[in-house]
Structure 1
């Protein structure tokens, strides 16, 4: 696919007219170094855009990665990472990207982004996909109409916090109530550490798996996290909160340049009275802040619900999520992942029933079945 256009630099300025080639490349044929150089310098990059995510998905679950590339004059002008999720007895899904909140296209201009998505749609229909998913984020917005904002309660948003130059400055900027909650966790006898050792996955996983079982949700395989650790290396860090050397809280952060995100964090419910979550988040924030990160992505939350308020207290602001799905009949469905009260879909009505059934499964059985189901759920 080739078109003529005047490519724009990331600052919006025009460059000389050039022919733009848009091609789809399998992960095994990708110039990984050039791809990572391009995404690392893009202002909208997330840690999920790194090629490491694609390699981890393929290694852990066997879902092949692909990248739509826009090239001009031998240089990258845009990229769209994709994963082909083949599901048993169902049409496959082409996703950017599975198992995370967002990825979507990175490009020199909005026009190039549209061409990347158009090429992905062509690929999806040629390969008989059931749908194409593209998950992106919008600029920061206020969270409630009463405060002059535009995002109503119930909307799914991405929570982003700026980070100062040091953890000392970060702690000093917290409100006194938050500082006292962190100190309370320490006084309760909890200890915390952050490391990038491979063995930390062994300590993280039991806490995570128990928490997922409590929530009634199928758990990722341990191999998924081991694959992520292998792919991201020292850019994946594990926070562990312990009581008498027994892990009671655990979380994972991914780092890319000056950006950090926390895809997973869990605590054991019976210890929540000791506030392990406060100590866990503080330790992870302090670690990445002192490592040079200047933005922390707390992940997806629902406006005005508990996790949303928890993240706001750390200084995070909402950014509306734009999740798009295209279907074979050319239907364009745009969702901010908000559920309309009073008119839930079938999946929303069934979810509480499924969760209750899952919670009643013995933990070893849930941990055996969970990964065999979770690998096909792109959320």
Structure 2
């Protein structure tokens, strides 16, 4: 493969469909993003900004796979190839988030994009690739098994209507945060990101998880522009909560949010989510993606109180021979959970300066 281009030997052809592959650096981002903005299944992660940020921040090779009928763009698939220092690499759509996968006008285009991904996997020396699609809504409460789900809620046309849809208890919790002296704002500037990051990095250490570096967020901000929103909650001059929202034409998502635990008694999370929800609602978003949660657990119930409902995560494992129907993300074994808990406890003991230096060097290889 030369300069990210698929070779005729590795790309099965689909009659009437022309496949083109470019890097985020050379991609016509306006054309890609215009297609994404019109597709009903698109997420903010499908925008070209995500793979551009991945490539610039972490150096992973990214591919913008496009399907054309004549001169008309009719499908896209963003992919990232992560070479790991130990073991086999992975080709995934998309890393560092819950969803990705194909956006296609019809099944013929969808399968043409799948065939292109198969060719890329072969060229990368891999046995397959992973697509992270969002599945259907889970009927009822859906709390029958401890599985990971995507929490989504539809938004009305304005924030006043949204507030009126909340239960009285939730509205009371929002007012409580304001009565406690908390204030909030939503910004798009670098200084807001710099205010958010130290709190976020400290919280990630507390959770025992390697943190993304500040350069990762700066590259995303540069790539997304005003579609990258930073919510901040203050107690006086102190930042006590913050979250980052990404937007496209129809939806918004919140990949990262943190609060300082010593201020949680003041309910900064309630004000943070209200400020962000009301902001994107008034900005025209029709859906809000609260992110991934385990059915029945604390974060699931927190998101559910805002009106979010669970949707399946259809994470597909493809081999060079086709879809592996029997391989799905499984719950970790007791031994795996024990090892993870041990590592997390050790990570919490490290100095913050060490976790901020070492974390990004590890995090770049963790695809979730």
Q: For residues 89 and 338 of structure 1, what CA distance do their matches in structure 2 show?
A: 22
For the pair 1:112 / 2:109, whether they are aligned, the reply is yes
Match of 1:11 in 2: none
Match of 2:353 in 1: 364
Deviates more, 1:44-53 or 1:240-249: 240-249
CA contact 1:156–1:337 (8 Å) conserved in 2: no
> Where in structure 2 are the equivalents of 1:201-240 lying within 5 Å?
201-240=193-232
How far the C-alpha of 1:112 sits from its partner, in A, is 2.0
How far the C-alpha of 1:25 sits from its partner, in A, is 2.6
Describe the superposition over 1:137-156 as per-residue Cα deviations: whole angstroms up to 9, x where unpaired. 11211254xxxx5x632111
**What TM-score do you get using the length of structure 1 for normalisation?**
0.89
Q: For residues 363 and 197 of structure 1, what CA distance do their matches in structure 2 show?
A: 25
Change in CA separation of 1:99 and 1:143 when aligned onto 2, cut-off 3 Å: farther
Match of 1:190 in 2: 182
- Aligned to 2:21, what secondary structure does the other structure show? strand
Match of 1:314 in 2: 306
The correspondence for 1:252, drawn from 244, 249, 272, is 244
Question: Please, which runs of 5 or more residues in structure 2 have no aligned partner?
Answer: 1-11
**What TM-score do you get using the length of structure 2 for normalisation?**
0.92
Deviates more, 1:170-179 or 1:117-126: 117-126
The correspondence for 1:286, drawn from 278, 282, 285, is 278
Match of 1:8 in 2: none
How far the C-alpha of 1:35 sits from its partner, in A, is 1.2
Match of 1:3 in 2: 14
How far the C-alpha of 1:294 sits from its partner, in A, is 1.4
CA contact 1:238–1:253 (8 Å) conserved in 2: yes
Q: CA RMSD in A?
A: 1.9
Match of 1:122 in 2: 119
Match of 1:75 in 2: 72
Q: For residues 283 and 329 of structure 2, what CA distance do their matches in structure 1 show?
A: 33
How far the C-alpha of 1:338 sits from its partner, in A, is 5.2
Describe the superposition over 1:162-192 as per-residue Cα deviations: whole angstroms up to 9, x where unpaired. 1111111111111000001111111111111
Change in CA separation of 1:208 and 1:37 when aligned onto 2, cut-off 3 Å: same
CA contact 1:322–1:335 (8 Å) conserved in 2: no
For the pair 1:266 / 2:253, whether they are aligned, the reply is no
> Where in structure 2 are the equivalents of 1:57-206 lying within 5 Å?
57-129=54-126, 131-142=128-139, 144=141, 149=142, 152-206=144-198
How far the C-alpha of 1:30 sits from its partner, in A, is 2.4
Question: Please, which runs of 5 or more residues in structure 1 have no aligned partner?
Answer: 5-18
Question: Number of residues paired by the alignment?
Answer: 357
For the pair 1:243 / 2:232, whether they are aligned, the reply is no
- Aligned to 1:27, what secondary structure does the other structure show? coil
CA contact 1:36–1:51 (8 Å) conserved in 2: yes
How far the C-alpha of 1:27 sits from its partner, in A, is 2.7
